[in-house]
Amino acid sequence: MSFNNLDQLYRTVIMDHYKNPRNKGTLEDGSVTIDMNNPTCGDRIHLTLQVENGLVENAKFDGEGCSISMSSASMMTQAVKGKSIDEALKLSTIFSDMMLGKEYDDSIDLGDIEALSGVAKFPARIKCATLAWKAMEKGVSNDETQS
């Protein structure tokens, strides 16, 4: 597949998550609630997580922002559901490394998340892509300290 075709495929995946977000909404029984924003561009996220026995049982988000921010939130909630806190944090580290253009553990299938790899070329947009992931990190870290 040529670079242009791959780039177009990634754009299509990002726009699909933006227009048809997965896990949009709030969890009434969410054990963890995190609100974060990116003041430089106005992105904001309200993330609720249901964490039980060290597992992210469910994840939902609400908020507003650019297509990269909201797509990333959609992808992140899909990726962490059913994962242990350690697995979710490892995914976040891999995602962060990918955003910073660093070498990362590519033995884990990132699925749709890989579509955001091109954001690394646009430093001003990295905070957009990582907002939901930082919220999840904060949420599971807080939950671990409360357990």
Per-residue pLDDT of the chain (147 residues; tens, 9 = 90+): 565 776 888 889 999 999 999 999 999 887 899 999 998 889 999 999 999 999 999 999 999 999 999 999 999 999 999 999 999 999 999 999 999 999 988 888 899 999 999 999 999 999 999 999 999 999 998 766 555
- 24 in helix, strand or coil? strand
**Residues 6 or more apart in contact with residue 137 via CB below 8 angstroms:** 89, 92
Sequence ranges of the domains in the chain: 3-146
From 131, 36, 33, 127, select the one nearest 74 (Cα to Cα). 131
Domain 3-146, what architecture? Answer: Alpha-Beta Complex (3.90)
Query: Residue 69 is which amino acid?
Result: S
Query: In angstroms, rounded to a whole number, what is the distance separating the alpha carbons of residues 132 and 23?
Result: 13
pLDDT at 106: 83
pLDDT at 74: 98
Spatial strand order of the sheet with 43-52 comes to 32-38, 43-52, 55-64
**Residues 6 or more apart in contact with residue 125 via CB below 8 angstroms:** 66, 68, 119
Quick one: DSSP state of residue 86? Answer: H
Q: Where are the alpha helices (DSSP H) in 26-125?
A: 67-80, 85-99
As a whole number of Å, the CA-based R_g of the chain is 15
